[in-house]
Amino acid sequence: MNPDPKENRAWFTKKLFRGWRLAVVPHVPATILCIFILVALFAPQLSPYSPTEAHFLDKLMPPAWVEGGSSEYILGTDFMGRDVLSRLIHGSRVSMTVGMLVIVVAGSLGTVIGVISGYFGGWIDILLMRFTDITLSIPAILMAIILVALFGASYFNIILVIVLLLWPRYARQIRGDVLNVKEQEFVALADVAGCSHIRIMWQHILPNVLPTILVLATLQVGWVIILESSLSFLGVGIPPPQPAWGVMVAEARGLVSSAWWIALFPGLAILFNVLSLNILGDWLRDRLDPKLRSI
Amino acid sequence: MQRYIADRILQAILCILVMSALVFFLVRLTGDPVEYLISDQATQADYDRIYKAYGFDRPFYVQYVLFLKNMVTGDLGDSLYLHRPVASILRTRFPATLQLAVAAILISLVVGLPLGVYAAVGRGTGLDVSARFLAVLGQSMPPFWLGLMLILVFSVWFRLLPSGGKGGIANLILPAITLSSWLLAGITRLTRSSMLDVLGTEYVKLARIKGASEPKVIWKHAFKNALLPVVTFSAVMSVILVAGAVITETVFAWPGLGQLVIQSVIRRDFPVTQAVVLLMAVLYIIANLLVDIAYAFLNPKIRYSR
Amino acid sequence: MTVNNEMLINVKDLRTYLYTRRGVVKAVDGVSFYLRKGETLGIVGESGCGKSITALSLLRLVPEPAGRIVGGQILFKGRDLLQMSHKEMRRIRGAELSMILQDPLTSLNPAYSIGNQIGEAIRLHQKNVTKKTLVEKIIEALKMVRIPAAESRLGDYPHQMSGGMRQRVTGAIALSCQPSLLIADEPTTSLDVTIQAQYLRLLKDLQRETGVSLIFITHDFGIVAAMCDRVQVMYAGKIVESAKTRDIFDRPRHPYARALMGCLPKIEKRLESLTTIEGQPPQLIDLPGGCSFAPRCPEAEQVCFEKYPEEAKVNEEHRVNCWHG
């Protein structure tokens, strides 16, 4: 560990990009992820129809390659005649938005609390960690359910709920990392040199816990997407008619025997999305810090 | 070890109290809690009755004590929807969820542990690569979708298994597989990485030096040590089970607590919601406690301490 | 130490290579040595010179698939270990040929009691042992390594014992089946200095009592002086000098051996004159032709970089691989 923050950043980048050309980067997941992000960004331009546009006459049409399908609706239509592909594309927006927002907010909150807790120690640490322990000890879905039961289901509430559930996981992990970094001598040196606490935390500690933050972020987005889609599926998440993937699958439930495509494609979308994130996250973790052995 | 266990029990009780306090306060925060406990057609008399019964006219701490007392004695109110005491509903639903959970745990352990061990032993081989891929896949698949796809393939297309409801073993298979997917993946990965760690240790080398056969080295020497982190993981396991139960039971119309809690939320049957959430939380905490105790027995460092 | 001339183990041109992503590491590159019954042979060298892999090769426990014994012969009691089946090898391991590892903290299984671990060694090679006999044998083994109150310690776990005790238990495990050859891989390196001397004394006593032959792997010439009848100096996978201990201390021929001995603090020397060997041990991939020590050798000449020195015979037991030797 180098005391110079600039050197730290150089070390970090070098670690991340070393051997980039040697095909050790999992190209396939990275590409898939980029596709999803691009689709989410350019959803209105890419989707052939609006996600809520209902063509009642063309409802329940199978995908184009199945008998009875048409090339007008490549992935078929649902029970209201809405184009599945368009809903799928717009659904990626929902997932991405929720995923990104939750991670950014929960990650920031968790990092701040983790750094403060680890750095200052003492009763602050004990208090904050007890709090996170308790929050962690309650199963996420139960808390989500009861919060939704009380406050109702909406875009905002879902994000809030998942943030509340996620930040303790960050705080815990980051705090552990901070404790390790704190032991390093250069922190003591900075302290002796008269740096303020904020400066130490920002310049010295934060860059060294950055790898952990990054790995956690990547691995957790997948978890968030699955949680959000599960809640939406159950009816306590993003409320219809928003084209969230979980909602799409829920709507297809009764029709699974006759209209399998409405349930299949959103699930595949979630699967590929989360799979890419997990593989990428694993690769990142192996690269940056093999000692981070969380699930 | 006694101290370790006593400490854990104390923690568990604390967690239960905190959880109940959390639910208690959350409900009070959102406005008039009585509104949650009476149906839409209630009269003023009903309102007053509930008001008195839960002691809403008394100070906070008295309310909380009453709340706790009710929880412990089993007086959980009446379901607004089914017009039956909540406690009796829970009593009928609980065994169903338990059955599902046990089945899922069994599947995960019976498949996951050996798979992880052999993936580690055969590092880099086809078995290892496929085991790892399946594990990542299992953790990336939304369980509700998996359930539906299983129904599609096995119930609709091949007509091999029923698509839902409780019944015989046949009914149990698909829901159990769905519920175990996440768990199985996690156990496989963890067992594999734990075994890899242990297989590289000096004491495993010493076992080979002694002349022990390879199976003995793997199972007697390595596996027992590799098991410890997996036991700790079982704590996380219970979370997954709880969450998974809610989803799986909904997909397969399995009459357990999970399905109940979702139905109650949608039907705005708050007494049931509250009771199930608390029950599941308590069960989860107890499960964790049992895992902690098992860990204390398995780890000689704790077992033989004061 | 009465040494008879019977050859216990004769290693001829042993080669063990490690196949890594970056290339082939010739960890053991043509090593030959022998050990007579009752003798103690020391193998000395810096970290990474291949001594531990040599030891593992003797037991055929080289980590696969990366490592492989690619050539040579290991004649143990007349039979070539490298030609044996796995089953035969397993029967020999622990019973006739045994090893003590370096770090006592990690070489005992934390999940089982020491009684269990010693008992396993015995049970593996003596099939029809009754429970009562087994317990007696375990206690005997513990007593042999001078562990006090042996009977009450059968159920102890490794974490309940000190480093020195644990290393004795490892010794008990290794000697429980009365092997003919014991390899000790830096057994005292991880012990406290005060315990080191005790342990070495124990090994010497045990050798006297049981007649076991010892191969002692170390980087410390001081230990060699105390324990070994003969010594081999290893560098970069090859043996560069081998001699009787007295001979090599009298007149070390190879510059590397000389340098290693110069690193020993002597009472007469003042602190400033403690010599160090310049440079680093070489990477064992892509070794240049010629003597591997040449880049660091103060006496290196042109020929040293070009051709690997042939073995020169100083006297009956003293050989050296050096153009100046």
Residue C44, beta-bridge partner list: C218, C233
Structurally, what CATH architecture does the domain formed by B92-267 represent? Orthogonal Bundle (1.10)
Chain B residues within an 8 Å CB radius of C92:
211
Q: What residues contact A137, with CB distance under 8 A and at least 6 apart?
A: B15, B19, B285, B288
B201, B203, B210 ranked by CB distance to C93: nearest: B210
Q: Say if CB C139 and CB C150 are below 8 A apart.
A: yes
Alpha carbon separation from B121 to B115, B206, C20, C56 (Å, rounded): 10, 17, 19, 20
**Inside any domain, residue A158:** yes
Exposure on the CB side of residue C212, measured as CA atoms within 13 A? 28
Query: Crossing angle, helix A206-234 and helix A140-151, to 10 degrees?
Result: 60
pLDDT of residue A21: 38
Tell me which residues of chain B, numbers 118 to 177, contact chain A at a CB-CB cutoff of 8 Å.
136-137, 139-146, 148-149, 151-152, 156
Confidence of residue B31 (pLDDT cuts 50, 70, 90): low
What's the domain count of chain C?
Answer: 1
**Cα A251 to Cα A247: distance, rounded to the nearest angstrom:** 6
Which of A222, A220, A212, A216 has the alpha carbon at shortest distance from A288?
A212
What ipTM was reported for this prediction? Answer: 0.80
Tokens linked to C92 = 């020999």
What average pLDDT does the structure give for chain C?
83
Search chain B and give the residue with CA nearest A226. B142
SS3 category, A279: helix
**Cα A212 to Cα C140: distance, rounded to the nearest angstrom:** 52
C61, C98, C174 ranked by CB distance to B205: nearest: C61
Could you write out the DSSP letters of every residue in C160-181? GS-HHHHHHHHHHHHHTT--SE
Q: Say if CB A148 and CB B264 are below 8 A apart.
A: no
**Inside any domain, residue C75:** yes
A233, A257, A295 ranked by CB distance to B233: nearest: A295
Q: What residues contact B249, with CB distance under 8 A and at least 6 apart?
A: B96, B97, B100, B175, B255, B256, B257, B258, B259
What strand order describes the sheet that includes C318-320? C97-100, C181-185, C213-218, C40-44, C230-235, C238-244, C318-320, C312-315
**Cα C240 to Cα C223: distance, rounded to the nearest angstrom:** 19
Instruction: Tell me the pairing of strands C312-315 and C67-76.
Output: unpaired
What's the domain count of chain A?
Answer: 1
The chains found to touch A (3+ Cβ pairs under 8 angstroms) are B
pLDDT of residue C222: 84
pLDDT at B115 over 90: yes
pLDDT at B111 over 90: yes
Which of C153, C185, C100 has the alpha carbon at shortest distance from B210?
C100
Q: Which backbone phi and psi does C230 adopt, to 5 degrees?
A: -130, 165
**Cα C22 to Cα A196: distance, rounded to the nearest angstrom:** 46
**What is the CATH number for C254?**
3.40.50.300
The alpha carbon of residue C162 is apart from the nearest alpha carbon of chain B, in Å, by: 14
Per residue in C40-79, pLDDT (tens digit) is 999 988 877 888 889 999 988 888 777 888 888 898 888 8
Query: Crossing angle, helix B143-150 and helix B224-252, to 10 degrees?
Result: 70
SS3 category, A292: coil
pLDDT of residue A20: 39
Which of C309, C314, C299 has the alpha carbon at shortest distance from C235?
C309
B225 with C111: Cβ contact below 8 A: yes
Confidence of residue C163 (pLDDT cuts 50, 70, 90): confident
Chain C residues within an 8 Å CB radius of B225:
109-111
**Inside any domain, residue C154:** no
Q: Which residues of chain A are under the pLDDT cut of 50?
A: 1-3, 17-23, 293-295
- Angle value at C-alpha A88, between A87 and A89, nearest 5 degrees: 90
- Out of A185-199, B179-193, C104-118, least confident range: A185-199
Which of B148, C77, B3, C37 has the alpha carbon at shortest distance from A245?
B148
Exposure on the CB side of residue A153, measured as CA atoms within 13 A? 21
In angstroms, the first-to-last Cα distance of chain C is: 30
pLDDT of residue C263: 62
Search chain B and give the residue with CA nearest C179. B210
In angstroms, the first-to-last Cα distance of chain A is: 26
pLDDT of residue C275: 59
Confidence of residue C217 (pLDDT cuts 50, 70, 90): very high
B23, B141, B243 ranked by CB distance to A140: nearest: B243
Best of B128, B194, B206 to substitute, by most chain C Cβ atoms within 10 angstroms, is B206
**Cα A98 to Cα A86: distance, rounded to the nearest angstrom:** 19
Q: What residues contact B154, with CB distance under 8 A and at least 6 apart?
A: B160, B161, B174
In Å, the largest CA–CA distance within chain B is 82
Domain that holds residue A196: 27-293
Cα A283 from chain centre: 16
**Cα A48 to Cα A42: distance, rounded to the nearest angstrom:** 12
pLDDT of residue C3: 53
Best of B203, B208, B217 to substitute, by most chain C Cβ atoms within 10 angstroms, is B203
Ramachandran sector of residue B260 (left: φ over 0; alpha: ψ -120 to 50; beta: rest): alpha
Q: Measured between CB atoms, does B251 come within 8 Å of chain A?
A: yes
pLDDT of residue C277: 67
Chain A residues within an 8 Å CB radius of B188:
none
**Cα C22 to Cα A59: distance, rounded to the nearest angstrom:** 60
Chain B residues within an 8 Å CB radius of C107:
202-203, 205-206
pLDDT of residue B113: 92
Chain C residues within an 8 Å CB radius of B209:
59, 61, 93-94, 98-99, 101, 174
Which of A276, A217, A259 has the alpha carbon at shortest distance from A92?
A276
Interface contacts A/B by beta carbons within 8 Å: 134
In Å, the largest CA–CA distance within chain C is 68
Which alpha helices (DSSP H) does C68-162 contain, by range?
86-92, 114-125, 131-144
Q: Which backbone phi and psi does B209 adopt, to 5 degrees?
A: -60, -35
Q: Do chains C and A touch (3 or more CB pairs under 8 A)?
A: no
pLDDT of residue A270: 92
- Out of B190-204, C125-139, C158-172, C250-264, least confident range: C250-264
Search chain B and give the residue with CA nearest A141. B243
Tokens linked to C242 = 């081998």
Q: What residues contact A148, with CB distance under 8 A and at least 6 apart?
A: A157, A158, A161, A231, A236, A237, B265
**Inside any domain, residue C244:** yes
pLDDT of residue A33: 87
Task: List residues of B whose CB lies inside 8 A of any C CB.
Answer: 124, 201-213, 221, 224-225, 300-301, 304
Which of B248, B201, B18, B172 has the alpha carbon at shortest distance from A233?
B248
Neighbours of A226 (CB within 10 A): 26
**Inside any domain, residue C116:** no
- C198-203's contacts with Cβ under 8 Å and 24+ in sequence apart are C198/C164, C199/C164, C199/C167, C199/C168, C200/C226, C200/C227, C202/C145, C202/C146, C202/C168, C202/C171, C203/C171, C203/C227
Which alpha helices (DSSP H) does B80-151 contain, by range?
86-121, 126-140, 143-150
Domain that holds residue C233: 7-96+179-321
Cβ density class B79-88: b for 16+ within 10 Å, e for less: bbebeebbbe
C-alpha torsion angle, residues C167, C171, C176, C178 (rounded to 10): 180
Compute the average pLDDT of residues B101-108.
Answer: 90
Helix (H) or strand (E) holding B163: none
Q: Say if CB B147 and CB B174 are below 8 A apart.
A: yes
- Out of A158-167, B143-152, C289-298, least confident range: C289-298
Task: Indicate the pTM of the whole model.
Answer: 0.80
**Inside any domain, residue A31:** yes
Chain B residues within an 8 Å CB radius of C53:
none
**What is the CATH number for A185?**
1.10.3720.10
